[in-house]
Each structure stands twice: as C-alpha cells, then as structure tokens.
Structure 1
Amino acid sequence: MKRSPDFLQQEHDPRDPNPWLALYLDQSTPLPDHVKRAWLTDSSSVARQFLLPFIRPLARAGIILIQIIKVFVPRRWAASRFLHWILAEGLKRMVSPEANWLVMRHFHLGSQILAFIAANAPVPAETSPLHPLVLDDLKDDTFLKHDLNLFNFVIRLNQALRFADQSLGPVARPDFSMISEPPLDIAAMPDGWLNVIDLQTAIECFTPVYQLFLTDNDFWRASNSLQLDETIAVYAATILNAPQHLLLLNNKHPLVPLSTLRAGYRLVLHGLSTEMLHALLIQLKSAQQAEGTTT
C-alpha cells in the first residue's frame, strides 16, 4: 500500500480513542491485516463520511423510479455490455484504489470458494471461475456472470446430489488446493485525483444503474443472490464440520426474498462475508500444511 492509513499513524489517545484503530486491532473477525487495512482505509474516507449519507437515499429513490419506468419498457430490453462498460470506466476513473482492489478480489475469492465446495462434495459439480486481472476485464459481463455462476452452481450441485441420493458432509481432510491469495496488487489500481469514491458510495451509485440496464429478471436475481451467502456458508461449514463460522452472516434467510432497496448495503455485506470465509479457508489450509510438515 502506498502509505499507512491515518488511523495507524496517529498515537492512541485514551480520552479520544480512534474507532478505526480499534476495528483494525480487533481479531474477532477472520480477516488478514492487509485486507482489513484496505477495508478500513476505504471505510474511514472523507467520501464515505460526507457523500454516502446523501447518495444512499437518492440511489434508493432512483431504484423506485426505475422500477416504475420498467413497467413501460419491454421485459427483455437490456444493455449489459454498455452497463459493464459504464461500471468498469466508473471504477477506473472515480473509485479509490482500495475499493477497486476489493472489487477485483471478490471475483477471485468467490470462484475459489465455489471450487472448494465442488472439490469436497461427494459428486462432481461444474464451476465457471472468474479471474479478472485488470478493471477492463470487467467489461466482459463479469458482474452478471458472477450472479449467474452462483445460481448455476447451487442448481448443478444439488441436482447431482439428489440424482446420486447423496448429501454434503464433513470431510476429514478437505482439499484446499484451490484456495490462495489472488494475484492482484493494490498499487496497480488507478490512483488519479478523482479516484476518491469509497466502496459503499460507489455501490449505492451503481445499483440503480445496474437495474436500469438489465432486465427486471436479471436485477431481481442479482439482488436475491445476496441471500445465498448463508447457503454457501452452510455448504462450507458442513464440509468443515464447523457451524460456528455462520455467526457473522447477515444476508439471510435465503427463502425470504428482500426488497431491492437495500441491495447496495447488502452487497457490501456480501463482499465482507466472502472475504471472511476465504480468510478462514486460508487459515485452515495453512494449519493443514503445517500439520503435514510435522507428521
């Protein structure tokens, strides 16, 4: 990272403790230091403090307005390629390096987590990994493919389990071979004078744009995919025989669809849940490797 965030440079004052420093030092959430540093640097930015409170209600009003407009638009109308061009260009030109790095990581981490479940399932399950390396790679319908991959994986896995009359269960020695740190460098992310928008504000801005240029069906599916966080976590916890790792999940219950109005906020939770599950798998992989070298 180019410089240490402010909350790590300031001396601790017991009469005025820095809340971001407390969150960074806290180890109750399974996040590696470099990810937590980027997340909290982005979260403590001026943009998030002053822009987000104004952007969020406007974005939610935009979702309602676009939903009304969609009543008069052909149901199959969409412009996915143009949408992804807007998203990629917006990220490159206006979003902070930390936020862009976290966005890019998310596709790698999600692909690795699905591959972990597939590799440790008692039946074969196809995955479609996404590994974008630069922001321009996102123009290939990457956001839409991410949502489709999640639902397709759940369907394919459970069809195979039902056909074989099998179910997921604990694995004594799980296969962690696909779990690794993504080959992404935060220093390689755009860092111009306009790259100041934080992750949460960017997501709130992009959510109504996402809705506008996708079909109603695609947008609803994308919103409802967030409630599969618990589903994927249950799969992983079953394989690991560790139900306590479901503790910090918030995007639930998968059988109770929520309004799209809070999709932006829930998308942030989705990203954080993915980071924590991946961090846990990294820890367990390291422990397994250390155990192997001592036996």
Structure 2
Amino acid sequence: MTVQIKTIDLAPKRHTFGHIARRLGEDKPASRYQEATFDIQATTNFHYKPLWEPEYWTYDTRKTTVVMQDWYKPLDPRQYYYAAYNIARANMNQAAERNFAFVEERGLLTKASESARGAIRRGLLPLRHLHWGSNMNMTEICQRGYGTAVTAPCIFSAGDHLGMAQYVSRIGLLLDNQTGSTLDEAKQTWLNDAAWQDTRRLIEDTFVERDWFHLFVAQTLGVNGVLLSLIYKNVESAWDDAGLTVALLTEFMNDWRAEESRWSDAVIKIVAAESEENKALVSGWAKHWIGRATEAAKPLSVALLNDGGTAAIAAGEAALKKAASLGLAV
C-alpha cells in the first residue's frame, strides 16, 4: 500500500477587509497596523450633535483650523496599534523595573547626600504634575482629533505620560521610605515654588486651547521639546552625587522622548507640507509655544543647574532647529 500526500494551494478570495482594500487595492495584503488604523473612525450615521458643542459633529474636521485632504496621511512611523504598542511598552517597563530594583536593593537614593536629595525633591518630583497635565492634553487631542492615524497614537502617548508620572512618584517614595511625604512636598513645590510657576502657567494655558492640532504643537514641540528635554537631558549634572542613580531611574523617559518625537515630528511635517496655509498656522504656533516654553524653562535651569538659564536657551534653540527641519518657518 502506498500513501500519496498532495498539497493544494487555495487562493484567498480577498487579502484584507473591504475598507482597507478600497484604499490599498484588492490584491494587496495589509499589515496589522494598516488594518487597525485606516478608516476606522466613524464618519456617518451619527444620531445627534453633542449637546455641549452643538456646532460640531462628534468627529468633525472643523475642530482645527488646519486642513487636510486625508487625515490618514500622517501615519505613525513606529506603526503602533494596540498590540504593538503594549509589547513595546512591556519591554521598556521590564528594563525600568530592573533599574528600580537595582537602586532599591542597594539603597542608592537613601545614601545620597542631603543636598542631592533636596535637589531631587525640588527639581524632579514636581514633574509628576507636568506629566499629568500632558496626559490630559493628549487625551483631549484624542477625543477632539480626526482620523485614527493621529488619535490612536495620542491616547498611547497619554498612557505614556501617566506611566512616567508614576515613575517619578516612585522615585519620591524611594526617597521617603514609602511614606508619601515627598509627594505632598512636590505638590506644594508645584503650586508655590517660583521656579515652577511659569511652567505651571504654561501647561494650564494649554488646557483651554480648543483647536486640537494647535494643542498638539504646543505639547509636542513646546512641553516635550523644551521643558521635558531640559530636565531629563540634564539629570546627571543636576543631582550632584545622585545624578547617575536618577539617570538610571529615568532611562525610560529619555528612550521615550526619542521614540515619541519620531512620530510627532512626522505628523507635524506632513500636516505643514499639505499647504502654505497649514505651514503658516503651524509655524506660528510652534514659534509661540517654543518661545513660551523656553522662558518657562529658564527659572528651572537656574534652580536645577545654577547656569543662569543657559541650558534652557540651548533647549529652546534645539527645538527651533528641529521645527525648521520639519519645514516650519520659525
């Protein structure tokens, strides 16, 4: 008796979902990112306009003054959708957990000098409030924005800021042996310390910006590009003998800044290149918020680094240079 094994090739009737095939073509297989991004947002058959903003539909391109023929053009170069994002963050979190375990087991922060610990309490812990404000901004962009290509990464970014606020809080808990007293102190520093008041005023001013892409520029080029860059880029020199320890605990933030900017820079570049009108609007917003962030960073630069504001000016110039590289007239 003989056994013959035969294989049969079955050609699929279609390679992807209909709404993706209409965009890419019937015979082109789509990636998971494309299937989770293109044309996911609802565009028709809304029941009624929101009572709190009756001049707009739930998803409405008029909620920003910039105009795009297709809001699915600003794709994420990281190609993050839910699964890919969570896998990437799980890997980054594992590295962060190892660093926290290393520092905690050896009591590295408690062995630091009192001056270094005081500098951390004043200069780093209030960032938990700035990250929380950034979380609110990215969530607002997600709910007011248009097109899943932009709004989905925004909610991922909101989750990142929440996670970083928690990391900063954990650094405070390591300083006070888990009592939480440093976090109460950080709140008062955020509310009352003169070095932080321009930063607090800036982030609170962004809360009332209704144009969601204007807010996107303020957050990514202003807050992320200047304020967060200033602090996380200078941690080793800011905290005296604890600088290397803090750098180890904030490694996630620096990795995140590089990764996040790949996406946010790509979005701004594509939107600004769509038309001269878009370029003029985005350029004006970028110049305004980078300027404001630079001024807000100067008191922090003086308080953290005692440098007369040099690091803040350098951070602002770097942000302007990056904005120019994105095609903006700043």
When normalised by structure 1's length, the TM-score is: 0.30
Higher relative CO (Cα under 8 Å, sequence separation at least 6) belongs to: 1
Tell me which structure has the larger Cα radius of gyration: 2
Task: Calculate the TM-score normalised by the size of structure 2.
Answer: 0.27
